[in-house]
Amino acid sequence: MIAAVILAAGASTRLGEPKQLVRLAGETLVERAVRIAREAGLSPVVAVVRDAELIETLKTRGAHVLLNGKYYEGMSTSIHAGVRWVEGMKANGVVLMTCDQPAVTAGHLRELCVDPESIAGSGYAEKIGIPAYFPSSRFGELMKLGGDAGARELLRGARTVSCEALGLDIDTEDDLKLARKLFG
């Protein structure tokens, strides 16, 4: 069982509106992330959010939803919440992803998981980032992360699945305009 944890509790300060609720091609970004994770065969799919208004909608789309009341302390608090939950479900591994990378595909997520014993990250913009896969043997390291740093240090030297299109993440109004142009 390989789970997905969608990190969707950020403040979206640069965009000026909650990116989780931004609509792209008829669905919110977080709904899109849930759909793609499910299409990839990841299970369970867990969305970590800060807005209670998302709970029912995401549940109807097949996600387990966790409210992160500590989102203001950084991305690590969402990672901790999601990993703790999937660890309790006895998941063999987890794909960490965000909701603001509209180019992510089910195929890319599956490719991250082909070696269930090794960390794998996404290669774009000359770095290794998320989405990224972590086997359960590395959950303890994820639980030690702090602040807003995310898991970048854990991805050093990881197997890389390249996808330059993932370099587009929706942080600004210009990013959103480009995403709407590319993805409807």
**Cβ atoms of residues 45 and 64 within 8 Å:** yes
- Residue-by-residue pLDDT tens, the chain, 184 positions: 999 999 998 766 676 666 777 788 889 899 999 999 999 999 999 999 988 888 888 999 999 999 998 888 888 999 999 999 999 999 999 999 999 999 999 999 999 999 999 999 999 999 999 999 999 999 999 999 887 777 888 999 899 999 999 999 888 889 989 999 988 8
Q: What domains can you pick out in the chain, each with its CATH number?
A: 2-183 (3.90.550.10)
Q: What is the pTM of this model?
A: 0.93
Give residue 13's pLDDT. Answer: 64
Give residue 150's pLDDT. Answer: 74
Give residue 22's pLDDT. Answer: 78
Give residue 158's pLDDT. Answer: 94
Give residue 17's pLDDT. Answer: 65
Show Cβ contacts of residue 82 under 8 Å, excluding neighbours closer than 6 positions.
5, 6, 7, 46, 48, 66, 94, 96
Using a CB cutoff of 8 Å and minimum separation of 24, what contacts does 67-71 make? 68/9, 71/9, 71/10, 71/11
Alpha helices in 48-148 (DSSP H): 55-60, 75-88, 106-112, 139-143
